[in-house]
Amino acid sequence: MTASRTPLLAINGLHVTVEGKQILNGLTLQVRAGEVHAIMGPNGSGKSTLAHVLAGRPGYQITAGTVSYEGRDLLALAPEERARQGVFLGFQYPVEIPGVNNVYLLKAAVNAVRKQRGLPEVDAFEFLGLVRDKMKLMHIEDSFLSRGVNEGFSGGEKKRNEVLQMLVLEPRLAILDETDSGLDIDALKVVAAGVNSQRSPERACVLVTHYQRLLEYVVPDIVHVLVRGRIARSGDRTLALELERRGYDWVSGEAA
Amino acid sequence: MSTPLTARILEEHANAAAALPPAGPTAARRRTAIAALTASGLPTSRDENWKYANLRPLERLRFIPATATPALAATDLPAAIPGFARYVFVDGAFAPALSAPLDSTAAAVTPLAAAPDAGQASAAMAVQTPAPGAPADERFALLNEAFATDGAAIRVAAHSGEPVRLELVFVASADALTGASYPRVELQLDSQAHLLLIERHVSAGPHASFVNSAVTVDLGCGATLHHYRLQELAARAIVFDTLSAVVGRDACYRLHGISIGAQSARSTLAVRLAGERADLTLAVVALGERQQVQDTYARVEHAAPRARTEQVFRGISAGRARVAFNGKVVVGSEAHGTDSRQSLRGLLAGPEAEIDVRPQLEIYTDEVRCSHGATAGKLDENMLFYLLSRGLEPEVAQRLLKWAFLEDVVARIGVAELRRQIEERLAQQLPEPAARAEST
């Protein structure tokens, strides 16, 4: 495990409400470069809210707390600025956008990051080669390129597409919101291979998941259990196994 | 029904009658048309199917046809479409010098001024009494018939092999204060004929022209017509357009309308599926910005068994524009086995913009399959956030989604060069290139 001293992501006492309802309730979490964290928890514990708040989705009121990313205030940035700074959200429910094709979106996304870094636009030919390589890794067919974003994709295809986007964009901080849900075992292995291929000392990954199944293939450094909007317990990967054995009531009861 | 407006039309017609050439719609037909128009009057905003149209400009327009023909060069016109013969009409009058006639024995295109009787049979359709119960929404065609001096009579015979390819370019150049432009098309496809027709309405210069176009279409048994209509007039133009079509047995009519230009545009499309298994696709795209009014009324009448209709509308309204589509499908008592689908969608691109989409179904028989969907709303927040979360600028994301909104209709344009030109024109209003072509 490679860990630098300053955390890549530092969440402190985060309180978030949605339509007046308290969802996150003083959440504190630090993620260092090189680490993979798993955030587990029962339904309604605030897992997806956390993922969305980090990506900057509108509709969430942050009532207290701070989030810093690379030492800067993440919450002050617009969603597109966060993306360009290297924050990536893999959606639990990827959106279908008929009429916008996949390769166009990939290219526009990569060029947005490059522009931010003062780099010229990506060479179209090289880019296509790179995308094709990553598509092979994700078992995605060639015809995908000219199709509309997630248009008519199965649940599994959508999730693989999220991971493909992540591989092409190479974010510093990837937040994958239940990317494993609804996948069969083969698709799960493909998704896991994609995530593992991106592990590096420079990058970090936060896996939001309900089940520990994904964690058999993407082994996390730290596992957190989220209960009623705060981290109730943290531990190594054995915590996920224990949760699997004993159920969430075990932690929920403790936290109550 | 005498109103100040019809009285003025009648007066202008009397003054112009001596000057109007005896050719074209003949003098007798002109008289019949003006009499019918005087009797019925033009629609008013109190008429149900005209409440979204902008009829106010009629009060100050002149109806006499424009006569001073400006000197135009081919470079003033849209780029030619490869493989298509071109006929150009300036303020309604045929301009041979700008045209590239058809080289085919399968079809004849005759300027109406040159051959007064050429299109008479089908032209009569425009003045047919509308079907019982239908309001007389085609009255602007009477105005055209009363004043038009020229136009295109097109007849396509049965033929084998490649479809006939034809482009009609109607150029409006005169200011409405000096005279009106009356584009006129009388189209007849014989049994088994196949035509690709591009009909463009453009402006030469920035004048506030008044354009009143009338098109009649008669499709014989098994005929196929792909009809691309583009309204890209200058920003101050006023246009009223009437298309009346009859589709015969096993005939196929694909009607694509793109309405982008003019200050105020009203298009009335009346299609009668008269023969068994007639097949109609009516796909309309309309964009409005500033204070533009883009209003389309489409009435499709199923008058025979097992005919099929697909109506698709995509409209975007920005600024203080109003974009309206009123799509009515009437299934007659004899039209069992009808298959009719409507998908009407409007996109509001500004807090002061207006969208009106209205599907209407009138069914007088059982055993039909009719579906309709109509939506009007803003850009989808989930789609927008998805694009932002991938780093796209909000302005880019919005333009991209607007483009995507039109995409499924634009993609149906089967003539590649025409589609390219339309995409370019759309991109001027939604200035972000769609990179569909960048795929593989």
Tens digit of each residue's pLDDT (9 = 90 or more) over B88-111: 999 999 999 999 999 888 899 988
With 0-12 / 13-18 / 19 or more C-beta atoms within 10 angstroms meaning exposed / middle / buried, residue B48 is exposed
CA distance B338 to chain A (A): 28
Nearest to B391 among A95, A109, A128 (CB): A109
Query: B440 or A197, which is more confident?
Result: A197
User: A3-7, A101-105, A170-174, B270-274: lowest mean pLDDT where?
Assistant: A3-7
* pLDDT at residue B127 in the model: 38
**Measured between alpha carbons, how far is B357 from B61 in angstroms, rounded to an integer?**
28
The verdict on A98 touching B (C-beta cutoff 8 Å) is yes
Asked whether the predicted pLDDT for residue B389 surpasses 50, the reply is yes
> Smallest Cβ distance to B391: which of A84, A97, A103?
A84
- The SS3 of residue B212 is strand
Q: Residue B435's pLDDT is what?
A: 40
Helices and strands: H and E segment counts in chain A = 8, 12
Residue B254 has pLDDT above 80, yes or no: yes
CB contact under 8 A, B394 and A80: yes
CB-neighbour burial class of residue B403 (10 A; exposed 0-12, middle 13-18, buried 19+): buried
Q: What is the pLDDT of residue A146?
A: 84
> Does pLDDT of B259 surpass 50?
yes
pLDDT exceeds 90 at position B69: no
- Residue B159: its pLDDT value, please? 84
Q: Does residue A100 belong to the interface with chain B, where contact is any CB pair within 8 Å?
A: yes
Instruction: Write out the DSSP string of B103-143.
Output: --SSEEEEETTT-TTTTHHHHGGGGSPPPTT---TTHHHHH
Task: List, for residues A77-91, the tens digit of each pLDDT value.
Answer: 999 999 999 999 999
In this prediction, what percent of chain B has a pLDDT beyond 70? 91
Average pLDDT, chain B: 89
Categorize the per-residue pLDDT at A8 as very low, low, confident or very high, splitting at 50, 70 and 90.
very high
Share of chain A above pLDDT 70, in %: 97
Contacts A91 to B, Cβ<8 Å: 386, 389
Q: What is the pLDDT of residue A6?
A: 82
Indicate the range of B100-104, B128-132, B401-405 predicted with least confidence: B128-132
Q: In the predicted model, what is the mean pLDDT of residues A26-46?
A: 95
pLDDT tens, residue by residue, A119-134: 999 998 999 999 999 9
Would you say residue B431 has pLDDT above 90?
Answer: no
The reported pLDDT for the residue numbered A86 is 96
Retrieve residue B78's tokens: 């849209």
Contact B9, B147 (CB under 8 A): no
pLDDT of residue B427: 80
Q: Which residues does chain B have within 8 Å of residue A172's beta carbon, measured at their own beta carbons?
A: none
Question: Does the beta-carbon distance from A58 to B403 stay under 8 Å?
Answer: no
Q: What pLDDT score was predicted for residue A5?
A: 67
Give the pLDDT of residue A194. 94
DSSP state at residue B82 = T
Name, of A3-7, A241-245, B120-124, B342-346, the range with top average pLDDT: B342-346
CB contact under 8 A, B381 and A91: no
Residue B121: pLDDT over 60? no
Q: Which of residues 156-185 of A touch B (CB under 8 A)?
A: 165, 169
Is the pLDDT at B2 greater than 80, yes or no?
A: no
Confidence of residue B30 (pLDDT cuts 50, 70, 90): confident
SS3 A37: strand
ipTM score assigned to the predicted complex: 0.95
Average pLDDT in the A135-161 region? 91
pLDDT, one tens digit per residue, over B176-230 is: 888 999 999 999 999 999 999 999 999 998 889 999 999 999 999 999 999 999 9
Average pLDDT score, chain A? 92
Please say if the pLDDT value at position B433 is more than 80.
no
B344 vs B367, residue with greater confidence: B344
Residue A2 has pLDDT above 50, yes or no: no
pTM of the model: 0.84
Helices then strands, each counted (H, E), chain B: 7, 19
Domains and CATH numbers, chain A: 9-255 (3.40.50.300)
pLDDT > 90 fraction of chain B, expressed in percent and rounded: 66
Task: Name the least confident of A132-141, A169-178, B40-49, B236-245.
Answer: B40-49
B236 CB-contact burial (10 Å; exposed 0-12 / middle 13-18 / buried 19+): middle
Minimal CA separation from B60 to chain A, in Å? 43
Which pLDDT does position A255 carry in this prediction? 56
The answer to whether residue B298 scores a pLDDT higher than 70 is yes
Q: What is the pLDDT of residue B23?
A: 56
| Contact state of A101 with B392 under an 8 Å Cβ cutoff | no
Residue B149 has a pLDDT of 83
DSSP A122: P
Supply the pLDDT for residue B437. Answer: 37
pLDDT of residue B26: 65
To the nearest whole Å, the CA of B420 is away from the closest chain A CA by: 16
Listed residue (B197, B208, B216, B194) closest to B124, CA to CA: B216
pLDDT value of residue B264: 97
Question: For residue A174, is pLDDT > 70?
Answer: yes
**B24 band by pLDDT with thresholds 50, 70 and 90:** low
Q: Which residues of A touch B407 (CB under 8 A)?
A: 98-99
pLDDT band at B436 (very low <50, low <70, confident <90, very high): very low
8 A C-beta contact, residue B327 and residue B309: no
Q: What is the pLDDT of residue A254?
A: 64
Per-residue pLDDT averaged across A244-248, rounded? 87
Residue B424 scores a pLDDT above 80: yes
Q: Is the pLDDT of residue A244 over 60?
A: yes
Contact A31, A70 (CB under 8 A): no
For range B320-348, the mean pLDDT: 96
Of B296, B120, B302, B301, which Cα lies nearest the Cα of B216? Answer: B120
pLDDT of residue B203: 95
Partner B contacted by A80 (CB < 8 A): yes
Q: Is the pLDDT of residue B432 over 60?
A: no
